[in-house]
Structure 1
């Protein structure tokens, strides 16, 4: 006999994990801060450049986005206000969005640039190549 749960269309034994994970701020010990939402990001490090891409649809980058670098940590904050009008249903997030990421060692946060296109904010930070080779130290003896 087939288990009744297996026959229910669209049912999954896992909860809506994405919504649950969005409740985390990325800081240890802080969960589901009311009114604060996470920002989905992509990171890459190639050819001496760190690139962070963040999904921020529906924001005005000139008015609603703040980017800062402090002690090697890049912090991105954005705000999206809810539009007036009644809705039957919405899954959009409104309010304050924030995300902090540690930059790679040697990243030059002061030289970071940002661009916004099609709802995606791209932050580019130069990371000079550092020589990490092995050096042999000769031991002198008496």
Structure 2
């Protein structure tokens, strides 16, 4: 397993892109959108067994999709399939309710749905003096 290296918070997507492209994991193609107050993430994961091969986790405001396609050795043949670990991490939008995440898999597409509550408004905090 790869060693975790602290990364600057101002450019996390660049580091994540480099990990996906040059690490030991294959990237997962995703699409995301908000529909009727729900954040939806869809991922292409064809040929996977959702109960055995796909894992979805939410932690610290990020949704992690991970799957593994195991290589089956044949005496003869040719393959262009990608085998190994597939992974993608997506930052959840503000107001996402991580306790209410649901996931489903149909026709090779994983769909994760997360309710999103209204964005919180910024407010100024008064600073008191010690007088």
**Above 0.5 in TM-score?**
yes
When normalised by structure 2's length, the TM-score is 0.74
Gaps of 5+ in 2: 1-13, 124-131
Report how far residue 132 of structure 1 moved: 4.5
Q: Does the C-alpha gap of structure 1 residues 87 and 45 become closer, same or farther in structure 2, counting only changes over 3 Å?
A: same
Report how far residue 82 of structure 1 moved: 1.8
Tell me the distance in 2 between the aligned counterparts of 1:118 and 1:29: 29
Aligned partners of 2:95 and 2:120 also within 8 Å: no
When normalised by structure 1's length, the TM-score is 0.68
Tell me the distance in 1 between the aligned counterparts of 2:28 and 2:122: 37
Q: Does the C-alpha gap of structure 1 residues 131 and 99 become closer, same or farther in structure 2, counting only changes over 3 Å?
A: closer
Residue 65 (str. 1) matches residue 54 (str. 2): yes
Aligned partners of 2:27 and 2:87 also within 8 Å: yes
Q: Please point out which of 19, 22, 27 is paired with 1:32.
A: 22
Tell me the distance in 1 between the aligned counterparts of 2:81 and 2:111: 21
Report how far residue 46 of structure 1 moved: 2.3
Partner SS for 1:66 = strand
Alignment of 1:39-58 (within 5 A): 39-58=28-47
Alignment of 1:131-142 (within 5 A): 132=121
Report how far residue 28 of structure 1 moved: 5.7
Q: Does the C-alpha gap of structure 1 residues 82 and 111 become closer, same or farther in structure 2, counting only changes over 3 Å?
A: same
How large is the Cα RMSD of the aligned pairs? Answer: 2.4
Partner SS for 2:104 = strand
Tell me the distance in 2 between the aligned counterparts of 1:120 and 1:105: 25
Paired residue for 1:108? 97
Paired residue for 2:85? 96
Tell me the distance in 2 between the aligned counterparts of 1:46 and 1:67: 20
